[in-house]
Each structure stands twice: as structure tokens, then as C-alpha cells.
Structure 1
Amino acid sequence: MLSLEAILEARPRVRETSRHTPCEYSHTFSALTGAEIHLKLENQQRTGAFKIRGATNRIATLTQAEKDAGVVTASAGNHAQGVALAATRTGVDSKIVMPENAPIAKVKATKNYGASVVLHGVDYSEAAERAHEIEREEDRTYLHAFDDPDVMAGQGTIGLEIIEDCPEVDTVVVPIGGGGLISGIATAIKEQRPDVRVIGVQAEGASSAASSLEKGELVTLDSVDTVADGIATRSIGEQTFPIIRERVDEVVTVSDPRIATALVQLLERSKTLVEGAGAVPLAAVLFERFDYDEDEVIVPALCGGNIDMNMLSTVIVRGLVETGRYLKIRTVLTDRPGALEDLLDIFSAHRANIYGIQHDRTSRDISMSDTEVEIDLEMRGHDHVEAFLEDLRSEGYEVDVLV
């Protein structure tokens, strides 16, 4: 099983390409939760995520013959960039297989770091199958994204930094995809400070670790569905599972709407951009997915910031919906002069700000003397939304909430 010694040995290798990222106290999230929150900002890492650590350590352990033959791996994006940069810096040829729906920004970044990219499959598991075929066809060394002790040791250097920068820590919260990150961090922390809790967090739509722990054996999901593409794996690793079982105190899950809410709050309140997987640990804290005490010192590990801009816009809107700050409604008006003005008087009375209005007189679902109206609105919270909708309906409008 992975040891603290292996992580300490990895540290000087990892320093060659990675940064010692900040662990910053957050006034905002401490006030919101009552705990003392320190954010481990691994989204500020080179390549935008923690994966550069494990990739660097693994490539450093290759023989010269393996380096000459080149490497191959599969990744949803962050491991891809880490391998690409680490390989390029050491003169090793790298080929990366990424799912066909991988974020465009991550695909472009991987190519820019010097790797050749193959798009294959609907998720990480299918991409990995193709990568193993390339491994056999081209005699390359396969660099596993998480189920490799050298990769885990590299990721474990984050745990060393947390203990050094926040020695008063009580609880560390870590996202789980395949389990390499939390295996490394948990080992680094538990072998130095066994009193510190390590909490793992998964997206509800990719909860293989939670399911495996519940059943006492590795569980492979049929599919995954989450905004947190960086942790969208159907199974944790054969080598990471026993480490998680032994060294992680609890594994919880969070829903995509809560992930979106945490991401928006990080953007708005802390001016910190993360991807879905990076928001998962904070979401678990904000929505109290595990028990913690007032004034407890908690470090959520924000593991990455590589989010596709199209996905970012979708997640922001979803986060605003979840906090009652964005509303889209549909109603039907009599097609006569002044009907829209009467409706807008109610909007004005409630100070509901209009983003856009769409009229449709051609819908088959309405009378030929009516018009259907869809309206996008900026609101000020759930209470504002409820009062606004109640007033509309009391005035006789039939209102459908679309988002």
C-alpha cells in the first residue's frame, strides 16, 4: 500500500514542474458555514489542475527504454494536460486518448502542451480501452490516470503542503473520481496526523466509490452523468479502493445543482474559477453533506480550474436558478393592445429585471386570439420568486416555470 515515504520521495521530482499552491483562509465561506475554511487552490496549479504532480512523478520513474518508446494514457482532460507537459519537458513522446465529448478547452490545451490527441468513446472508460489498444500496438507505456502508486504518490504531495501551510487543520475534503488524488492526500495526512479527518466527495451521477464502500467490493457503474467531468469515472481503481477504505473517514455525494451553486459562489464571492470537480468539496461543506463543528478548521481541495466556457455559462445559469436569481416563465396573453403592458406592470412592482421576451402567436397549444410569451428574469432570491409568482397567479395569469 502507498506509503508516506513514497510521497516524500516524489516531492523533489514533482517540484520540477508543479507549483506549491496556496491554502488561503476564506472569510466568506467561514462566515457562511461557521467553520474556519481554508481553500487549497490547486486550480492555480500549472496546467490548471493537480494532475501534473502525479504525471511528473510517474514519468520520472520510467526507464530510458520506456522513455524512448513513448507513453500513452486516457483522460477526460486534466491528466491529459499533466502527462503532455511532463512528457514534453523530458523529451518523451505522448499520445492521449480523450472522450469524444471532452471539453474543447482541455483538448486544445493538451495539444498545445505537445501531445497528440485521439478522441474516442463516450467517457473515460471507453477512452481507456482505446488507449490500451494503442499501448499494445505501439509498445508504449500506459500511464494510468489514478490506479498507479507513483501517480498517487505525486498527488500526495498536496497533503504534505496542506499539513505544512495549515497545521491546525481538522478536516480535509477531497473530490473522488478514480481515487488517486484522495489516496495520495489521505496517505500523506493520516501517516503524519491520524487525528485529521479525510472526507471524500463524489458527484451523485458518478458515485462509484460510495457504492463500492457500501457493498464492500469494487462497483463499476453502467454510466456516469455529471457536470463534474473531471471525476466522471465509472469505477475507482483496484489499488485506490483499499486505500480509500482504510484511510478515508467518510465518502459523501453531492448533486449537480449543488455543485453549480458552489461554483457560482466561488466565482462571485471569492473571484475563484474552478471546474465542476473543483467545486465538489466546497459543495459538500456548504450543503453540510457531512457533520462538522463550529470553528472546525476545514480545507476543501479545489482540484482544478479547467472548465470549458460553454459549460461555464450553463453552470452559471444553473447556479443562479438554484439560488433563486434567475427565472424563466411562460404565460399566455390575450392578443390585444396593452396586454403585455398590464403584465409588465406586475414585473415593475416587484422590481423583476427582464433579460429577454419572446412572443409566439403560432403555437398550436393556444387559441388563435392569444399569444404565448416566454420571459427571462433576474430575481433576488427564492422569497422574491415566490412572492412574484404568487402575485402573477392571483391576477389570473397561468404561469409555467421553465427554469
Structure 2
Amino acid sequence: MSDISAVEIEAAREAIAGFLEPTPCLRSRPLEERLGRPLWLKCELFQQTGSFKPRGVLNWLASAADTRLERGLVTVSAGNHGMALAWACGERGIPATVVMPEGASPFKVEACRGYGAEVILHGDIRATWAHANQLVRERGATLVPPYDDPYIIAGQGTVGLELLEQLPELDTLICPVGGGGLISGIGIAIKYARPEVRIVGVEPAGAAALKTAWDAGGPVELEKVQTLAASLGANRAGEHTYAASRRVVDELVTLDEEGIAAGAELLITRGKFYAEPGGAIAVAAIAAGAVSLDGSACAAAVVSGGNMETGELLKLLDKLP
């Protein structure tokens, strides 16, 4: 599958339907009072393993020949993708290794191990990629990309299909962006059926991999990644996600650390959604005024993950003015 279309996303929904339930779209009146407008929340933090990531992983596994699985799977992850792969492989008895940066969330490290995966902590995000590729060569294992793969992107696009059914009047969608797999898949699904819907991506200013790629005309490796929103800490946009996002994303904005922290705190305290900073960034961008919803009659924000331990919550609160 060299390109991704709505056909592949529909096929992905069939492939994962027996394993995952759709997530709800909800509203929070106290949150809306603070924002000063209605806002639907697509609650991917309620998905298996606490994020949208199992969608792509399960679709990838459904496409993979047995010969690609027999020597095990290896991936690179700050946590959520690794947890999804560990869970899915644990269900099927497939050996999985997750290579994570040394500063990864202890909560996510232990979750990956709890699902049965081998976890290797190795350097920063650049070093994790080098080590993962080395393991693939040494073991004859198969690398499962965290975002830059057509089957992964198509799986994430099933979020878009659910949104179309849950919110037929949707006119604006705001989505977190790390490597770009989620917004690419959602954008493809939504734009095929409703090309007039405005798709807005939000990245951390300290990990603006997709915005950098847009500005450069193609994926570029970031020299440094530093953000509270660790789940969005990709150091490079993918070839597939760059191409897809240019087709289906209308706007791409970045948000600083204060804005991310304030928005996450708002979503937790007023919205009552225990979202991690990366999962809360779409709401945070609205609260900070980085994304305008003037003229929108039906807007939604994706809350992409909720895997945060108390230590990370305290770090978030320390960022508040």
C-alpha cells in the first residue's frame, strides 16, 4: 500500500473492529464556560492502553505476513505506541521489544513491561532509532514504525470515520501532532467525505517536526527535542505523514510549554479529563488563542492520550505561571 485513501481506512476499521470499541465524543460544560464556546472532545484517552495508538498497531498486525512476525517485532516509542504494540503482541503471543529514550515516563516503561514486552532504555530519541535498527539487523526482527507507515496511518484514520458518524455537522477539527500519523489518517478520512471541514494540527514548539518539514519542503531531523508533551516528541516527520498532511491539513500551529501546561491543567481540573500534556494540546491551543474557532458552529478537539503518572502531573503544574 504505497498511498493511503479512504478505502484503506475503511478496511482498517474492519480489521480492528473485533478488538477495539469506538471512543465517545463528549462535552464538558465547565470547560466550555472557561473557553467561552461549545467544544466536542473525541476521547481517545479512553481507548485500550490509554491512547489512539492501538488502532494503527492492530491494522499493521492484520496486514503482516507470519514470516514478518516469527522473529519478533521492534519499535521506538516515548511510550504510547510502545504500550499499544506490547499489548497487541501480548494478546497474540508475539515477542516485542520497545526501545525508549532514557528519560521516558517510568509509568509507560512499566506498562510496556506489564504487557509482556522487552523494554530497552537507550539514549535520546536519535539514539533509540539507531539502537532499534541495530536490533532488527542482529535479530532478524521486523521494525514497526510508530507513525510513518501506510497501515499505521490508515488505522489511526478510523478516528476520523467515527467522528463523521458521531458529529455529522462537524466543521472544524483540532488534532495533536507528533510524527503526523494521527492527523494524516483523520484528515484523509474526513476530507474524502467532507472536504470543507477545517483540519488544524497543533505541535509543541519544542518538537515541531511536521511544521519544520512543511517549511523545508520535506522531512528534516530536528537537532533537539524538548517538550513537556513527551508523547508528541518526534524528532522527524515521516515521508508518508509529510505527504499526507500536505494534502489534508489546513493549518498547523505550535504551542509553547506554558500554553501546553495551562491547557492540560484546564482540561483536568475543569473538563475532568485526566489527559497527558500531549493528549491535551488541541484543547490547550484553543484556550491559549493559538487556534481561532470564530465562525465555527461545530468544533471538536481530539484528546489523544491519558497516560500520565503523578510525577509527570507535578512537573506539569511546575510549568504554570
Task: Give the alignment's TM-score, normalised by structure 1.
Answer: 0.77
Deviation at 1:25, TM superposition (A): 2.0
**Does the 8 Å CA contact 1:80/1:96 hold for their aligned counterparts?**
yes
What CA distance in whole angstroms lies between the structure 2 residues aligned with 1:137 and 1:302?
A: 38
Pick one of 60, 63, 86 that aligns with 2:62: 60
**Does the 8 Å CA contact 2:257/2:319 hold for their aligned counterparts?**
no
Q: Aligned pair 1:129/2:130, yes or no? A: yes
Deviation at 1:30, TM superposition (A): 2.9
Name the residue aligned to 1:230: 231
Please identify the structure whose Cα radius of gyration is greater.
Answer: 1
Name the residue aligned to 1:2: 4
What CA distance in whole angstroms lies between the structure 2 residues aligned with 1:251 and 1:273?
A: 25
Structure 2 gaps, min length 5: none
For residues 309-360 of structure 1, give each alpha carbon's deviation from its aligned partner in whole angstroms, at most 9, with x where no partner exists: 21111212433xx3xxxxxxxxxxxxxxxxxxxxxxxxxxxxxxxxxxxxxx
What CA distance in whole angstroms lies between the structure 2 residues aligned with 1:161 and 1:80?
A: 24
What CA distance in whole angstroms lies between the structure 1 residues aligned with 2:135 and 2:250?
A: 38
Closer/same/farther in 2, CA of residues 58 and 69 from structure 1, 3 Å limit: same
Q: SS of 2:132's equivalent? A: helix
Q: Aligned pair 1:194/2:195, yes or no? A: yes
**Does the 8 Å CA contact 2:136/2:143 hold for their aligned counterparts?**
yes
What CA distance in whole angstroms lies between the structure 1 residues aligned with 2:233 and 2:239?
A: 17
Q: SS of 1:97's equivalent? A: strand
Pick one of 73, 76, 79 that aligns with 1:74: 76
For residues 378-399 of structure 1, give each alpha carbon's deviation from its aligned partner in whole angstroms, at most 9, with x where no partner exists: xxxxxxxxxxxxxxxxxxxxxx
Query: Within 5 Å, which residues of 2 pair with 1:147-296?
Result: 147-294=148-295, 296=297
What CA distance in whole angstroms lies between the structure 1 residues aligned with 2:294 and 2:33?
A: 13
**Does the 8 Å CA contact 2:171/2:296 hold for their aligned counterparts?**
no
Deviation at 1:219, TM superposition (A): 2.2
Deviation at 1:36, TM superposition (A): 2.3
For residues 277-304 of structure 1, give each alpha carbon's deviation from its aligned partner in whole angstroms, at most 9, with x where no partner exists: 1111011111121332255321110100
What CA distance in whole angstroms lies between the structure 2 residues aligned with 1:165 and 1:114?
A: 35
Structure 1 gaps, min length 5: 323-403
Q: SS of 1:69's equivalent? A: coil
The structure in which a higher percent of residues are strand is 1
Name the residue aligned to 2:139: 138
Task: Give the alignment's TM-score, normalised by structure 2.
Answer: 0.96
What CA distance in whole angstroms lies between the structure 2 residues aligned with 1:221 and 1:305?
A: 26
The AA in structure 2 aligned to 1:226 is: T
The AA in structure 2 aligned to 1:110 is: C
Alpha-carbon RMSD across the aligned residues, in angstroms, is 1.3
Query: Within 5 Å, which residues of 2 pair with 1:291-302?
Result: 291-294=292-295, 296-302=297-303
Deviation at 1:213, TM superposition (A): 1.3
What CA distance in whole angstroms lies between the structure 2 residues aligned with 1:151 and 1:215?
A: 24
Q: SS of 1:270's equivalent? A: coil
Q: Larger relative contact order (C-alpha < 8 A, sep ≥ 6)? A: 2
The percent identity for this pair of structures is: 37
Deviation at 1:78, TM superposition (A): 0.3
Query: Within 5 Å, which residues of 2 pair with 1:7-26?
Result: 7-26=9-28
